[in-house]
Amino acid sequence: MLMKALDTLHVSAVGPDIILAGQTFEIADNDGEILRQRGLAEPVEEQPDAPKPARNRTK
């Protein structure tokens, strides 16, 4: 399940670092539902846009 953090939080199942408010992350459905019920995160329907690759300068 893809979730968006509504507050800064730490979920060891996601990774060792904190998750900042507004950041999206992948988590198991049952754990994501617990975060949603607690008001810490909300489900995201689609994948966030991937960052555009840097353009190389040519001389």
Residue 54 lies in a domain: no
Confidence of residue 47 (pLDDT cuts 50, 70, 90): low
Cα–chain center distance at 37 = 17
Number of domains in the chain: 1
Residue 52 lies in a domain: no
Residue 14 lies in a domain: yes
How far apart CA 5 and CA 17 sit, in angstroms, is 13
Residue 56 lies in a domain: no
Assign 52 to helix, strand or coil. Answer: coil
Stretch 51-57: mean pLDDT: 65
pLDDT digits over 11-32, tens only? 888 888 999 999 999 999 999 9
- Would you state the structure tokens that stand for residue 33, as one six-digit string? 């539902």
Residue 10 lies in a domain: yes
Mean pLDDT of all residues in the chain? 86
How far apart CA 5 and CA 36 sit, in angstroms, is 9
Range of the domain at 22: 2-40
